[in-house]
Structure 1
Amino acid sequence: MNPAKTYKDLLVWQSAHSFVMEVYAVTKSFPKEELFGLTSQVRRAAVSVPSNIVEGFGRWNNADKLRFYNIAEASLHEADYQLFLAGELQFADTSKAQEIAINTKRLLASFIKSIRPQDA
């Protein structure tokens, strides 16, 4: 397998980007009074996922890369809960976004494992 030339070549980034696009689509239907609340919060958390993947991709050493990929992972967990909450509050059907989040979590965990030292 050839190494990625740009972050856009990474399957994990592609999945994270799809996640952001779906989060933006689903949050359009959130109540207007949530614009500066849950809508803003879940969008920021979602955008943080591919953004940190990109930042990690640009780092030279694995310790730096792993730090940013871990931040992406944490932001993904945060956004996933916020989508769950929005569903519970019946703001929208968030199931598609949550499915993409699950796939992105799986890809990100594998990606991190491939970089992490074996003894860690």
Structure 2
Amino acid sequence: MEHKNLDVWKKSMDLVESIYKMTQTFPESEKFGLINQMRRAAVSIPSNIAEGSARKGDKELIQFLYIALGSIAELETQYMIAVRLQFVNKDEEMEEMILNVKKMLLGFKNYVGKKIES
């Protein structure tokens, strides 16, 4: 399965770009804190989709999708922290992007899981 053809991978790549742009506005004091954590969590999502897709079987792919789901949950929490700390204003577009990637990951995981069961 070619990861570059997957909509969930494409959308997660868009999310990475948006997170990098958003965190450029954070205070310099967060360079090794929240900025680094958010960027790493964001990058982890398409990276795990790609790595899982390159593996030999769907069971391995599922494991990497669970890691990606953990990363999107982590990123969502970090975004909420950034809003609370007033590093960034609440952004409905960003929230929708995070939610959409999460839904797409869950859908893809469920699809692959059903393939394994049959």
* TM-score above 0.5, yes or no: yes
Residue matched to 1:38: 34
Residue matched to 1:59: 55
Are residue 108 (structure 1) and residue 100 (structure 2) matched? Answer: no
Residue matched to 2:96: 99
Partner amino acid, structure 1, of 2:28: K
Q: 1:29 aligns with which of 7, 25, 38?
A: 25
**Tell me, which stretches of 5 or more residues in structure 1 are unaligned?**
none
Partner amino acid, structure 2, of 1:109: L
Provide the C-alpha distance between the structure 2 equivalents of 1:67 and 1:109, rounded to a whole number of angstroms.
12
Q: How does 1:9-20 map to 2 (within 5 A)?
A: 9-20=5-16
Q: Say what the alpha-carbon RMSD is for the aligned residues.
A: 1.4
Provide the C-alpha distance between the structure 1 equivalents of 2:86 and 2:77, rounded to a whole number of angstroms.
14
Provide the C-alpha distance between the structure 2 equivalents of 1:105 and 1:79, rounded to a whole number of angstroms.
10
Are residue 90 (structure 1) and residue 48 (structure 2) matched? Answer: no
- TM-score, with normalisation over the residues of structure 2? 0.92
**Tell me, which stretches of 5 or more residues in structure 2 are unaligned?**
none
C-alpha offsets along residues 53-96 of structure 1, whole Å, 9 cap, x if unaligned?
00011011111000001000100100110001001111013523
Partner amino acid, structure 2, of 1:28: Q
- TM-score, with normalisation over the residues of structure 1? 0.90
